[in-house]
Structure 1
């Protein structure tokens, strides 16, 4: 059995992100089998017990995750080509049902807030923004198997075996896609459930079977659904809510 970097082991166990792990190690907030570790790059065996100090646990507990119904025309991350980033929609004024919010909006909740998963400028629906590296890893790690559900309006004529190929059999960027669940909702709308998120994946999949996407809305990520959250509005992930 070989040793691995403690930060890597912590990330793999869902304790935090690697960057957060390094910060905790530097502060002396990490113990391996009860012994404080404070040197970056330290290693441990995969079967050793790793624990976080109460200070690190409090810091994690204060980090927020935000669920936004992103409208078309906003980019998920950094502003580009004159378009505004989705985070610019987060304010006290746009908080949905403030009376039901677990706590009031505070500008500190914008610090370090980053999108966990893509939703391109022409798409709308559920976008997760978080300060919590554990949640970000759950949603965007390459080994994540959390389902993402989309409603997709299309036009054009699908190839005869198109629906079968959408479910399994297509490749993008030289890689075979994971099996998906794709079905017709009505004459011009498909429902996609994916367990991966390549750039513009659904649009490119549809093009391969003769369809053009004219509307795309993400309605679920794992166990979290968009529900009745209006476009341009947001809410906090509540205590007890989990993606998995």
Structure 2
């Protein structure tokens, strides 16, 4: 099987994170530096930074959600201060599905199931993510219409999305893509600065009453509905 699939089956990291490790020459296959596209057999010895990685016995995957506080970075890299893995301190290896930038807060899913990451994150799958955003000046109809119809950022035009005003300086937005700092960049085009950005929903999973800094396991009902949409 391809090395990316092998790594996701071990629960060590996602396929995308595997690409990063390969680029950093941290993965070895039988004492040879792994290259993009390499394949492995179950008898091969795969290691990361000298630690052998094995496919786990079939265990029930972990799916949890965290209400991420501002100041926590969504990375599994241990050298990054205040990284999300250190913050949550879960007793087994998990990784975040996607990102919330350091200055943002709210719902993020963490798992050891590497296969679901791309299915949730890729824009072509049109999976919804909902946010509540507070900006530095009153929201106007022109702003709402402009945000809804697509904004030119990062050499592309964002997909049309649902935007609705909540109060004078606050609105909700539902995205089906995840460009880098997308909402902040979109707002800036119209002369607005984001003061607070909170994600409250990913597909069928909602933040609900989960307090900032707290996490919980997905319920069986939530997980069943989530997997049925992938």
Q: TM-score, normalized by length of structure 1?
A: 0.66
Question: Does the 8 A contact of 1:151 with 1:217 survive in 2?
Answer: yes
Q: Determine the structure 2 residue equivalent to 1:226.
A: 207
Structure-2 separation of matches of 1:148 and 1:180: 11
Structure-2 separation of matches of 1:222 and 1:184: 21
- Cα gap change, 1:213/1:81 in structure 2, threshold over 3 Å: closer, same or farther? farther
User: Deviations 1:82-133 (Å, cap 9, x if unpaired)?
Assistant: 7401122224xxxxxxxxxxxxx7x2x2x2x211111011111001111102
Structure-1 separation of matches of 2:116 and 2:216: 16
1:62 aligns with 2:77: no
User: Deviations 1:151-202 (Å, cap 9, x if unpaired)?
Assistant: 0011125576221110013121111111111110111111010001111110
Q: Determine the structure 2 residue equivalent to 1:191.
A: 172
Structure-2 separation of matches of 1:231 and 1:24: 42
1:86 aligns with 2:116: no
Structure-1 separation of matches of 2:138 and 2:167: 14
Question: Does the 8 A contact of 1:156 with 1:210 survive in 2?
Answer: no
Of 31, 42, 62, 1:27 maps to 42
1:237 aligns with 2:221: no
1:3-18 → structure 2 map (5 Å cutoff): none
1:156 aligns with 2:137: yes
Q: TM-score, normalized by length of structure 2?
A: 0.70
Structure-1 separation of matches of 2:167 and 2:192: 15
Structure-2 separation of matches of 1:134 and 1:81: 25
Alignment gaps of 5+ in structure 1: 1-5, 11-15, 29-37, 39-55, 92-104
Question: Does the 8 A contact of 1:157 with 1:211 survive in 2?
Answer: no
SS in 2 for 1:128: strand
Aligned length: 187
Alignment gaps of 5+ in structure 2: 6-10, 19-36, 45-54
1:77 aligns with 2:67: no
- Say what the alpha-carbon RMSD is for the aligned residues: 3.2
- Cα gap change, 1:237/1:158 in structure 2, threshold over 3 Å: closer, same or farther? closer
